[in-house]
Amino acid sequence: MAQNYTAKDITVLDGLDAVRMRPGMYIGTTGPRGLHHLVWEIVDNAIDEASNGYADEISVTLKKDGSCEVTDNGRGLPVDIHPKLGVSAVEVIYTQLHAGGKFDNKNYAYSGGLHGVGASVVNALSEWCTVDVYRDFTHYQMRFESVEDPKTHKITSGRPCAPLEKVGNTRKRGTVICFKPDWRVFEDTEFSADTVRHRLRELAYLNKGVRFIFTDERIKDENLRRREYLYDGGLIDFVGYLNKDKTVITEPMLFEGDTSGMRVRVCIQYTDSYTESLFSFVNNIPTPEGGTHETGFKAALTKAFNDYARKSGVLKEKDNNLAGDDFREGMTAVLAVNVKNPQFEGQTKGRLGNTEVRPIVENWMGERLAVYLEDLKNQSGAKLILDKAVKAAKVREATRKARDVARQKNELEAAPLVGKLSSCTGRDAKLNELFIVEGDSAGGSAKQGRDRRFQAILPLRGKPLNSEKKRLDQVLANEEIRSMITALGTGIGEDFDISRLKYDKVIILSDADQDGAHIRAILLTFFYRYMKPLITEGHVYMGMPPLYKVQKGEKSVYCYDDRELNEALKGIGKGYTLQRYKGLGEMNPEQLWETTMNPEGRKLTQVSIEDDTEAERMVTILMGDKVEPRKDYIFMYADFNKKDNFKPVTAEEVKA
């Protein structure tokens, strides 16, 4: 250990080196989410041009070489020399952290990127980045590269190859950014076409009249390579898309306007479902964790409908007000606000923190809802909403009583778990794991094979209820669901408290067949609807049991898919025996521990939500009441001719 601590021990990171040293501070993660965050940073800049009236077309192209190109037809980046730094504005923007044109409101009334680090971070984390600017009838170009010193192996991030140069004359207008993520930074540098496409479609809904073009040059079929999104209906079209496979009971309600230096847009439509679906955005950026804009919206909705319920006689003087959850049951809503100086929690912008936004949204929304509800032409829809809310309140009261019973630890908590949950001895929740196991047979093996110091087992003795089709009181009546709630300890819905979670990892362990997939879908639907932070905070996993066991003498190899099996057969040679596992119950405790439960060798898939709106639609399609959308989805994506993917290697391949 060094005894002297002096000035020479202080490291100063030059330029963009800090970004490469600690990428998580700027993009959250070096996994798929962080990789695509690079795209969003550049797209957000183009969106800022569009939302402020300077552009009406944005293109994103995924290229064969692994790079991504973003084009807009806006004003084009400034190209003149910066008065203090003596280099072009393009070079400043792409090499200096906290440099940009969005710190005041002169160039952009509303903007998503206010930190001034987006463009420079993309440059810092890329192998190379090119910038083409078309403005003032001139085409300008500049290239940046991250260069590694062959002797020291130190990487200089985002270094300009040459000053900004004039390429030629042009009548085009706008900016083209092309970058290739650095393989030395990211776990995987391959972009997901679905992820990018879904986000562009979402942006098209939020920016009506702006055309978004997505091209994936990696796809050979020209008919599938290009997609365009343009929605003149804006938020109404967005809500219609979200409710496409639901049964709606009201017409969409659209509210738009400017107030106190903010732009507020809301679209609301009610369905016959039992859960709420609220998606919020600030300056086009999703805020899945909510924030002050959502709080203000919910408060206004609750007050306006309670006032209307009293005026219309649905609530008498002696009656208590209905809760906000009652009025939001079955509600699908998109809330989009534009704020001049948004304060997000971190660079990845998951939650809005501006305290002044709540009262502005609440007052503005309350006034418009009151006017809407007083209009005679809206009375029938308002009555349907009130009737639904009153029924929801009755269910809520029944549910509250059930929860009270649970808290008192009587039959709701104790009885179903007697002889069912095998808890662990460890008391540190951060180290503990809960395996939710399909079937008593597999549950018995898991109980015997586990490490009881930190692994708990909860067997399912039947399929849990599909929570997408039932009210909460009906869901709570299901014994399997009640057992899970009690085992986890967090409560559900409005009572959910992640700090009370008893297990850091909640692992769904089911067979690798259709029934197992159905059980996983049912459990994930329940977690998504009533314990969403379990997923968003990374506590839910799916166990991956092996499909095959290859045995030759005393040597055995477990294979989790057909590719691994073929590799194992090549390596083990002739004279092997092959076992195909059809279910967890076929494994003895030692095999289950070795393959699926041992942290040293098991494979787990962490469940996450990359796109909230698409997750909402998939839950509705696969688990909702309507049969046709589910049938259409199955026929579109299921391969009924594929009975078994396994094609054993030939004797010649084994010899090779």
Q: For residue 334, is pLDDT > 60?
A: yes
Tell me if 588 sits within 8 A of 441, measured CB to CB. no
115, 210: one domain? yes
Q: Is residue 618 part of a domain?
A: no
- Mean pLDDT, to the nearest integer, of 374-394? 91
Q: For residue 650, is pLDDT > 70?
A: no
45-97, pLDDT tens digit by residue?
899 888 788 999 999 999 999 999 999 999 999 999 988 888 999 998 998 88
57, 204: one domain? yes
174, 112: one domain? yes
Report the pLDDT value the prediction gives residue 206, as an integer from 0 to 100.
Answer: 95
Most confident option among 148-162, 326-340, 397-411, 509-523: 326-340
Report the pLDDT value the prediction gives residue 643, as an integer from 0 to 100.
Answer: 47
For strands 57-62 and 211-216, give the pairing: parallel
Q: Is residue 113 part of a domain?
A: yes
- Mean pLDDT, to the nearest integer, of 515-542? 92
382: nearest Cα among 369, 371, 373: 373
Report the pLDDT value the prediction gives residue 573, as an integer from 0 to 100.
Answer: 83
- How many domains is the chain partitioned into structurally? 3
Number of H helices, E strands in the chain: 23, 22
Q: Is residue 577 part of a domain?
A: no
Q: The domain containing residue 24 runs over which residues?
A: 17-229
Query: Which string of DSSP letters, residue by residue, matches 566-614?
Result: HHHHHHH-SS-EEEE--SGGGS-HHHHIIIII-TTT--EEE---S-HHH
Q: How confident is the model at residue 116 (pLDDT cuts 50, 70, 90)?
A: very low
Q: Which of 391, 421, 447 is a domain's end point?
A: 391
Q: For residue 100, is pLDDT > 70?
A: no
- Mean pLDDT, to the nearest integer, of 287-316? 94
223, 293: one domain? no
CA dist 595 and 559 (Å) reads 9
498, 453: one domain? yes
Q: For residue 653, is pLDDT > 50?
A: no
The C-alpha torsion from 439 through 444 and 448 to 451, rounded to 10°, is: 30
Q: Which residue has the higher pLDDT, 106 or 131?
A: 131
Report the first-to-last Cα separation within the chain, whole angstroms.
52
Q: Is residue 8 part of a domain?
A: no
120, 188: one domain? yes
- Mean pLDDT, to the nearest integer, of 192-198? 93
328, 458: one domain? no
Q: What is the CATH number of the domain that holds 509?
A: 3.40.50.670
214, 242: one domain? no
- Mean pLDDT, to the nearest integer, of 229-243? 96
Report the pLDDT value the prediction gives residue 406, as an integer from 0 to 100.
Answer: 53
Q: How confident is the model at residue 656 (pLDDT cuts 50, 70, 90)?
A: very low
- Mean pLDDT, to the nearest integer, of 116-144? 91
Q: Which of 542, 577, 612 is a domain's end point?
A: 542
Q: What is the CATH number of the domain that holds 214?
A: 3.30.565.10
Q: How confident is the model at residue 454 (pLDDT cuts 50, 70, 90)?
A: very high
The b/e string for 513-535 (b: 16+ C-beta within 10 A; e otherwise) is eeebebbbbbbbbbbbbbbeebb
Q: Is residue 641 part of a domain?
A: no
347, 244: one domain? yes
CA dist 348 and 343 (Å) reads 11
Q: Which of 356, 391, 426 is a domain's end point?
A: 391
Q: Is residue 154 part of a domain?
A: yes
In the chain, the amino acid numbered 517 is: A
Q: For residue 105, is pLDDT > 60?
A: no
Report the pLDDT value the prediction gives residue 113, as an integer from 0 to 100.
Answer: 47
278, 383: one domain? yes
Q: How confident is the model at residue 167 (pLDDT cuts 50, 70, 90)?
A: very high
Q: Is the dihedral of CA 476, 479, 485, 486 positive or negative?
A: positive
Report the pLDDT value the prediction gives residue 155, as an integer from 0 to 100.
Answer: 85
What would the two tokens of residue 618 be? 């998939």
Q: Is residue 213 part of a domain?
A: yes
Tell me if 365 sits within 8 A of 264, measured CB to CB. yes
Q: How confident is the model at residue 244 (pLDDT cuts 50, 70, 90)?
A: very high
Q: How confident is the model at residue 640 (pLDDT cuts 50, 70, 90)?
A: low
597-624, pLDDT tens digit by residue?
999 988 899 998 888 888 898 999 889 8
Q: For residue 135, is pLDDT > 90?
A: yes
Report the pLDDT value the prediction gives residue 655, as an integer from 0 to 100.
Answer: 42
Report the pLDDT value the prediction gives residue 452, as an integer from 0 to 100.
Answer: 94
> Could you give the percent of the chain with pLDDT greater than 90?
53
Report the pLDDT value the prediction gives residue 182, as an integer from 0 to 100.
Answer: 94
The b/e string for 262-291 (b: 16+ C-beta within 10 A; e otherwise) is bbbbbbbbbbebbbbbbbbbbbbbbbbebb
Q: What is the CATH number of the domain that holds 259?
A: 3.30.230.10
66, 215: one domain? yes
167: nearest Cα among 158, 176, 159, 180: 176
Indicate which residues carry an active-site annotation. Answer: 438, 511, 513, 515
Report the pLDDT value the prediction gives residue 224, as an integer from 0 to 100.
Answer: 87
Helix (H, G, I), strand (E, B) or coil at 66: coil
431, 312: one domain? no
531-550, pLDDT tens digit by residue?
999 998 999 999 988 889 99
What would the two tokens of residue 409 be? 């630890």
Report the pLDDT value the prediction gives residue 149, as an integer from 0 to 100.
Answer: 83
What is the CA 57 to chain-centroid distance, rounded?
26
Q: Is residue 582 part of a domain?
A: no
